[in-house]
Amino acid sequence: MAEQRLSKLCRAAGKANGWHVFESVRIPDEEQGGKREIDLVILGGHTLLVIEQKHWSGSFAINDEEEFIQERNNGTSHNHSTVAKRIERKARMLAEMINIADLKVEVLLAFTHPKLEWPKNVNRLSSEVLDERGMIDRLEHVNPGALCTEGLAFMNKTSTWDEVVLFGGLVKKGDVLDFGLGEEVNEWMLRSTEAVEVDIQHRRGIFSLWAAQPSVAVVKQGERGMSITLPRTATMKMHVVGQPSPESVPWSTLERIQLSANRAV
């Protein structure tokens, strides 16, 4: 929820000055295998802001090795290792992928919890450190100039996580692996280089309790679209971020699905 809030605030704050916001950007990491995620990437003019967000409460300290030690309000502590160095590495990797000579890449750490206490030595980091208000002020008051269209074209092709929204607002992020509706549906929806939106409509009323197909998925992919009648027992499979293995999710619990553009990249 904190990540969604920050991205919405950044879009609103930066719109007038021409900042473009990309959230949950994934980049390949050949050195360590797999992919790495960047919380936010914001492009304006020839400036690329690479942002790591932390919504910690309590307080934190930075030791001589630049490890971040969080002291939580419940009395526990946690070593988050070298937060700044990790996002700086991701920023270098992204800059190498884009490979635009006059594109300036800046690394920001955004600490967005209003009750977080910061250490006095936070400014020793090479990354810029801002709170939520600082992020908004920067995008509202800094006009980055003429847009780097080559950079925008690249960012529009980057992949992000798929999002599955359940009733009640819970959002699962990860990779949708199988819709459970047949190979033809999978081939169309999962191999796309365009974003795919799915709205799930559920029948209401007492008679829906006996319906064999009580729900319909309305799919939109660019100019194309179709409706799929869903069996009561239909499930989809996705690998949620941070989970060790894929899980099955009943279609009956879903409200909306957003598949990333270029999800196969």
Residue stretches of the chain with pLDDT short of 50: 207-210, 264-265
241-259 per-position pLDDT tens digit: 778 889 999 998 999 998 8
For residues 108 and 127, the answer to whether their CB atoms sit within 8 Å is yes
pLDDT of residue 14: 94
- Which pair of tokens denotes residue 77? 């502590």
User: At a CB cut-off of 8 Å and minimum separation 6, what does 5 contact?
Assistant: 112
- Give the CATH number of domain 2-155: 3.40.1350.10
Please, where in the chain does CATH 3.40.1350.10 lie?
A: 2-155
DSSP state of 260: P
Quote the pTM value.
0.70
Instruction: Tally Cβ neighbours within 10 Å of residue 254.
Output: 23
pLDDT of residue 34: 67
User: At a CB cut-off of 8 Å and minimum separation 6, what does 178 contact?
Assistant: 186, 190, 236, 237
User: At a CB cut-off of 8 Å and minimum separation 6, what does 93 contact?
Assistant: 27, 29, 36
207-217 per-position pLDDT tens digit: 444 455 568 88
H-run or E-run covering 265: none
58-77 per-position pLDDT tens digit: 888 888 888 888 888 787 88
Residue whose tokens read 């099955």:
248
**Which of helix, strand or coil describes residue 204?**
coil
Tell which residue, 90, 1, 86, has the closest CA to residue 50.
90
